[in-house]
Amino acid sequence: MAKSCSALINSIRACERCADLPLGPKPILQFSSEAKILIAGQAPGRITHEKGIPFDDASGKRLRDWLGVETQSFYNPNHFAILPMAFCFPGTGKQGDLPPPPICAEQWRQTLLNELVKLQLIIVLGRYAIDWHCPDLKKKSVTSAVAQWRNTWPKLLVLPHPSPRNNRWLKNNPWFEAELLPELKKHIQSQLAPAKK
């Protein structure tokens, strides 16, 4: 990683702008300017905050299955950049985790994206990431946004959140596993395959 990029990541990890967060600031991300695939999520949950590792939970296990990758590849920053819309756990409300505070994306996001010089695919998870990365889909439901996946494929792909809470969604939308996931796995495999000499 270039010195300027390394300094940027260090600045983000040291950020304490949101000192009023319930568990305090603890920015969590995975990044290398060499990453070929960006996972644009929402914000770390409580478990991620405690572990300090993105997607080291049931959602991450399902996401790795959707991508067709092993844990070692998933946590290789030269393969995957993991940049949620906010880098710290925002706290919990009546209906689950609170929305990611916008201040994080406003301060850091575009600068980080500019560093991804080898980016081939953006995987967008959840409403707040959809609204930022796909402004033309702001008024669409997540289901509708996912169903239109061929419109932005293979540069960008909207996925439902891989949370176990979405088991019913997966059952109600069998086309997702039958049509979309095989294409995604094949594409990921081709992007991460070692270059032939």
pLDDT digits (tens, 9 = 90+) for 110-169: 999 999 999 999 999 999 999 999 999 999 999 999 999 999 999 999 999 999 989 999
The rounded percent of the chain whose pLDDT value lies above 70 is 97
- Predicted pLDDT of residue 53: 96
Whether the predicted pLDDT of 21 surpasses 90: yes
Scan for tokens 């405690």, then name that residue: 50
CA dihedral 162, 163, 167, 171 (to 10 degrees): -20
Q: Tell which residue, 99, 20, 89, has the closest CA to residue 48.
A: 89
**CA-CA distance, 129 to 40, in Å (whole number)?**
6
pLDDT at 102 over 90: yes
pLDDT band at 96 (very low <50, low <70, confident <90, very high): confident
**DSSP state for residue 31 in the 8-state scheme:** -
Residue 188's pLDDT band, with cuts at 50, 70 and 90, is very high
Tokens of 126: 């959840």
Per-residue confidence (pLDDT) for residue 137, from 0 to 100 = 94
* pLDDT for residue 94: 86
Confidence of residue 193 (pLDDT cuts 50, 70, 90): confident
CA distance 46 to 44: 7
Spatial separation of the C-alpha atoms in residues 26 and 145, rounded to whole Å: 31
The dihedral built from the CA positions of residue 91, 97, 58 and 12, taken in this order, carries a sign that is negative
- CATH 3.40.470.10 assigned to 3-192: yes
Residue 196 has pLDDT above 60, yes or no: no
Residue-wise burial string across 145-164, b where 16 or more C-beta atoms lie within 10 A, e elsewhere: bbbebeebeeebbbbbbbbe
Mean predicted lDDT score pLDDT of the chain? 94
CA-based nearest residue to 46, from 90, 83, 15, 86: 90
